[in-house]
Amino acid sequence: MRFTVAIDGPAAAGKGTIGRAVAAKFGFGHLDTGLLYRAVGARMLAGEKAEDAARGLTPEDLGDPDALRTPDVAQAASKVAVIPQVRSHLLDFQRAFANRSGGAVLDGRDIGTVICPRAEVKLFVTASAEVRAQRRMDELAGRGLAANFAEVLADVKARDARDADRATAPMVAADDALVLDTSDMSIDEAVAAAVAAVEARKGA
Ligand code: C5P
């Protein structure tokens, strides 16, 4: 059985948490596509040309996700993500994952619009920039990393602008996506809304 859930939205809106929970609930595979761009960004920071890094990406590059979840790598990821050749090198892997039997959840920026335009369920998860910056602060603190709110907020806004304004595959809600604004929702409420959307479609 092929069943794809596409979850898009800006940084730290809750896509990953919702994606993991939906995947666990229905026994689907989960791919955090941001990690692919982060791995390319990390290789660029190490001196490689972004396009070469994307072409040569291996599973080992994704082996230590926490090392990729740093503010520097996040900014580098959003810079390499504007390069069309980088995006096209990562396309087949994402589509193959989406089509795996047993169901798949992919979260990112262009899943419902470009990678899987025919996904059975599309969600666009968002929240105010301030709420998202606070969540990122909490996440960094949980990993023992100190951060300054004003800097994290500026980082979030810079990345939002770069992701939304780029020419290729910009971050935008698909016309047929259910928009979930999680600013005033608990994690449980947001997950419940996403699960309900999947259940409604599975039963249809
Ligand atoms: O989701 P995450 O914050 O890890 O993504 C890092 C960066 O990778 C984003 O800011 C965005 O520029 C890029 N990205 C993308 N398309 C995706 C997933 C991530 O352009 N599908």
The reported pLDDT for the residue numbered 143 is 87
With a cut of 70, list the residues of the chain below it in pLDDT: 204
pTM metric for this prediction: 0.95
- Give the pLDDT confidence of 39-53 residue by residue, as tens digits: 999 999 999 999 999
Best of 5, 109, 156 to mutate for ligand 1, by most ligand atoms within 8 A of CB?
Answer: 109
User: What is the C-alpha separation between 30 and 110, in angstroms, rounded?
Assistant: 16
Best of 78, 122, 135 to mutate for ligand 1, by most ligand atoms within 8 A of CB?
Answer: 78
CATH of domain 4-199: 3.40.50.300
Residue that is written with structure tokens 């996403």 in the block: 194
What are the residue boundaries of the structural domains of the chain, listed by start? 4-199
The reported pLDDT for the residue numbered 204 is 65
Other CB atoms within 10 A of residue 28 CB = 20
Number of alpha carbons in the 13 Å side-chain half-sphere of residue 45: 18
- Give the pLDDT confidence of 23-80 residue by residue, as tens digits: 999 999 999 999 999 999 999 999 999 999 999 999 999 999 999 998 899 999 999 9
The reported pLDDT for the residue numbered 203 is 82
**CA-to-CA dists, residue 132 to 61, 124, 157, 158, angstroms:** 27, 15, 10, 13
